[in-house]
């Protein structure tokens, strides 16, 4: 057992004084009853003892409650506790395309209506629905960069997602092969037990073609029971990519290639669907008015597929707070004292 405020237990030193005061009060009350009771009867012995003990018990339990008691218990692990979710977010320049429309900005989301901010808005809501999952995130463009190591502190995760300057992190090119390798390294840290999942959020445009590397990593995922879910963002029609000034909503031009030609980008769903199908995962397409539904559908798909059977002895320890129970017992004891 532990106490969050153990110094308050010093109040228990007042118990002898409280006992003395309560005993004197009960004796004085007995004298008054003898003087004014016509029948001359005395209260039952159990009632006299209860009136003496119940206030002492109430004070004891109240003091213990204020000290914040807790005991360590062993509980079975839920599937969510043994789940490892790695999220890969595409931060290539094509994700700055503004072929999506965001409604009134919500908490934690920027105002510019581009693919990257739609993905951020989706992730912010999805993370809010997690329970005990071990979740991590990496950004990828030409290479993969681990940004949030696997953690169950989803509040910290959402804080990073909210305040990270994704515009500063955008880079030219997109290499899904490197993204999958980064995800595999992160999932290896989670061990082999329970649900292990990769969620890729991208427009599917690959500027560095490494089909063999992608197929090889996907085959390794399938052998390990890791499923990949792909979330596509953007429209299938080609659009230009605005080159905005840092810290403002203004832009003077669109991004160009080395030859000076304007770059165009569009959602490539076929590749994302093939990646998801190769590991038994699923594909989702982001729509701003369906983010909540997509989050729920994605979560349902993650826990619907067959997974390795958890050991029957899969348990973890946690602290059970006894303060509410102690407080209720203290109030009950004093209420009984007033009632008799």
**DSSP per position, 3-67:** ESSGGGGGGGGGHHHHHHHHHHHHHHHHHHHHHH-SS-----HHHHHHHHHHHHHHHHHHHHHHH
Under a CB-based contact definition with an 8 Å cutoff, are residues 245 and 270 in contact? no
Mean pLDDT on 114-125: 90
Q: Check residue 234 and give left, alpha or beta (phi > 0: left; psi -120 to 50: alpha).
A: left
Q: DSSP 3-state assignment of 205?
A: coil
- pLDDT grade for 312, boundaries at 50, 70 and 90: very low
The share of the chain scoring above pLDDT 90, in percent, equals 34
Under a CB-based contact definition with an 8 Å cutoff, are residues 125 and 158 in contact? no
Statement: residue 151 has pLDDT above 50:
yes
Read off the pLDDT of residues 167-194 as tens digits, 9 standing for 90 and up.
666 777 778 888 899 999 999 887 776 7
In terms of Cα–Cα distance, which of 198, 247, 225, 201 is closest to 92? 201
Provide the pairing of β-strand 251-254 with 144-151.
unpaired
- pLDDT grade for 60, boundaries at 50, 70 and 90: very high
Where does CATH 3.40.50.410 sit in the chain? 80-304
Under a CB-based contact definition with an 8 Å cutoff, are residues 166 and 96 in contact? no
The share of the chain scoring above pLDDT 70, in percent, equals 86
First to last CA, the chain: 34
CA–CA separation, 204 vs 190, rounded Å? Answer: 27
CATH class of 80-304: alpha beta
């Amino acid at each position: 057992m532990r106490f969050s405020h153990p110094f308050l237990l010093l109040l228990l030193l007042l118990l002898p004084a409280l006992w003395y005061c309560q005993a004197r009060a009960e004796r004085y009350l007995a004298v008054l009853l003898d003087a004014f009771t016509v029948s001359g009867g005395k209260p039952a012995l159990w009632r006299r003892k209860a009136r003496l003990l119940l206030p002492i018990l109430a004070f004891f339990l109240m003091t213990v409650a204020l000290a914040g008691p807790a005991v360590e218990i062993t509980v079975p692990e839920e599937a969510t506790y043994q789940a490892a979710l790695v999220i890969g977010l595409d931060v290539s320049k094509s994700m700055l395309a503004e072929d999506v429309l965001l409604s009134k900005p919500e908490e934690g989301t920027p105002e510019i209506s581009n693919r990257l901010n739609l993905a951020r808005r989706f992730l912010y809501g999805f993370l809010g629905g997690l329970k005990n999952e071990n979740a991590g995130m990496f950004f990828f463009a030409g290479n993969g960069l681990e940004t949030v190591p696997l953690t169950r502190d989803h509040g910290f995760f959402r804080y990073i997602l909210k305040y990270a300057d994704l515009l500063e992190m955008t880079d030219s090119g997109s290499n899904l092969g490197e993204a999958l390798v980064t995800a595999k390294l992160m999932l290896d840290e989670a061990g082999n037990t329970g649900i292990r999942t990769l969620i890729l959020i991208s427009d599917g445009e690959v500027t560095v073609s490494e089909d063999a590397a992608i197929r090889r990593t996907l085959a390794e995922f399938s052998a390990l029971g890791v499923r990949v879910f792909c979330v596509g963002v953007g429209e299938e029609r080609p659009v230009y990519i605005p080159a905005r000034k840092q810290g403002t909503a203004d832009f003077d031009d669109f991004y160009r290639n080395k030859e000076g030609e304007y770059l165009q980008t569009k959602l490539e769903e076929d590749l994302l669907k093939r990646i998801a199908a190769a590991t038994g995962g699923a594909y989702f397409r982001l729509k701003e008015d369906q983010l909540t539904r997509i989050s729920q559908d994605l979560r349902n798909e993650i826990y619907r597929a067959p997974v390795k059977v958890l050991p029957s002895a899969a348990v973890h320890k946690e602290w059970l707070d006894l303060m509410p129970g102690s407080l209720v017992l203290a109030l009950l004891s004093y209420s009984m004292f007033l009632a008799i």
